[in-house]
Amino acid sequence: MEALKEAIRRHGRHLGNGIIKVDAFLNHQIDPALIAACGQELARRFRHLGPTKVLTAEISGIGPALMTAYALGVPLVFARKHKPLTMGDDVFFAAAPSHTKGGDVTLLVAADYLRAGDRVLIIDDFLATGATILALARLAQAAGAQVIGIGAVIEKRFEGGRDRLRALNVPVESLAVVIGVESEQILLE
């Protein structure tokens, strides 16, 4: 997606250790028209697989996943990292090692919102090591649902997530691919 690549070139910054800052349009401030276009493009790539639900992880996945779900006309479920008061006890959970914080993050989804028979499209802002996306896939599998595809706005190919997702045997799509970083420079495919 050219508009996305242009936004990365213009606003993206490499902070070191492979951490890419795109707070200007995706992770803190959101450019709604750009992220809606990303959602429409992800929807276009997965619509033929008949997804019935989009699944993401709070927080930064919510924007692009909501726009994808809106374009597909299906509900979005965002996995929680902390159990809110409103969440009952019938909950699926999966642990994912946290890239940026260290330690594990636990993702939770109430059993009411993921069902056997659901065809789940996983959407996230980044595909990096793949750990968060694999945890989301385990949540879907715990519910007896089928993962039918994985989409990310930005893939950091140098972190190897795509290889780790291969075992899921579903299509993996990303809208912009970062192939490497050199000091402050972000190298796009």
Q: Is residue 122 close enough to count as binding a copy of itself by CB under 8 A?
A: no
Q: How many CB atoms lie within 10 A of CB 177?
A: 17
Label residue 7 exposed, middle or buried (CB < 10 Å: 0-12, 13-18, 19+): buried
Question: In angstroms, what CA-CA distances link 187 with 8, 39, 69, 158, 183?
Answer: 10, 23, 30, 11, 11
* Tokens coding 87: 């969440």
Q: Cα angle at 165 between 164 and 171, to 5 degrees?
A: 150
152 binds a copy of itself (CB under 8 A): no
CB of 160 to a copy of itself, least distance (A): 20
User: Per-residue x/- mask for a copy of itself, residues 53 to 82, rule CB under 8 A?
Assistant: -----xx--xx--xx-xx--xxxxxx-x--
Binder among 48, 86, 167, 182 for a copy of itself (CB under 8 A): 86
Total residues contacting a copy of itself by CB under 8 A comes to: 39
161 binds a copy of itself (CB under 8 A): no
- Contact between 29 and a copy of itself by CB under 8 A: the answer reads yes
Answer for which of 2, 10, 48, 84 binds a copy of itself (CB under 8 A) is 84
